[in-house]
Amino acid sequence: MNLWFTEDWTDHLRVSLRIREVLHREKSPYQEICVYETADFGRLLTLDDIIQVTERDEFFYHEMLAHVPLVAHPSPRRVLIIGGGDGGTAREVLKHGVEVVQVEIDERVVEAARRFLPTMARSYDHPSLRLVIGDGIEYVKRTEELYDVVLVDSTDPVGPAEGLFREEFFRDVFRCLSPNGVLVLQTESPLFSSSLVRGVQEALARVFPVVRLYWGPVVTYPGGIWSYSLGSRGPDPREFDPARTRGLGTRYYSEETHRAALALPPFLRELAAQP
């Protein structure tokens, strides 16, 4: 069988993965959800024909999104995850012994992950996680709860996710963060989405006293390099306790990769609000 999944990264560049089997396909109220068995990357989840995770390289993304802010915070206890329906971010967050509230807009993504991506979705069975099916933007706007860390594990900034990259949303997050609270959101490829990265950094700097940009590899994401934007009410991720990076059972994140992620090469310093 010569079946391939192809995602166009730009009008002139695309990536293809050989598919052994189509495991699942459905149209939810929000998007088309597909799960494939690939030849080399294990199972692949796509939303509207955009790669979300593969079993082979998801750890790069989920570990860097979760552990950098959680280690930066001096004593995190309560974490809010917006999005992250595959469960991988929650899996990493729960390694810190915290309470987690996760707000995911599309229940069908969660159900697909439970069925086909158990290495990530096992987090939904953890007693310290409470799943809320709903709009993360509205949740943050209305909640009266305080969180130590807020993580935005979203799809690309189109459709329902577009508001997650705006200053208004960042101000709502600031309000529901504890005094040492930290926000991190994924901000796409710094190669192909540099204007988005710069815009988010500038918007965060108008809200938070400490803003950082950091980065890491994700093989199947556009360009192979991914960016993360951090806004903090106090803690600086460059200053952290190395002991807290150990014993997490990670495959990429470590004391050394934490430091390296915040050591920006010149092309990334140009995008950062506070290089």
Catalytic machinery residues: 153
In terms of C-beta distances under 8 Å and separation of at least 24 residues, what long-range contacts does 258-264 make, across chains too? 258/67, 258/68, 258/71, 261/64, 261/68, 261/214, 261/215, 261/216, 261/228, 262/68, 262/212, 262/214, 262/237, 262/238, 264/213, 264/214, 264/215
CB 273: neighbour CB atoms within 10 A? 19
Buried b (16+ CB within 10 A) or exposed e, 141-151: bebeeebbbbb
Task: Tell me if 183 sits within 8 A of 152, measured CB to CB.
Answer: yes
Give the type of residue at 199.
Answer: G
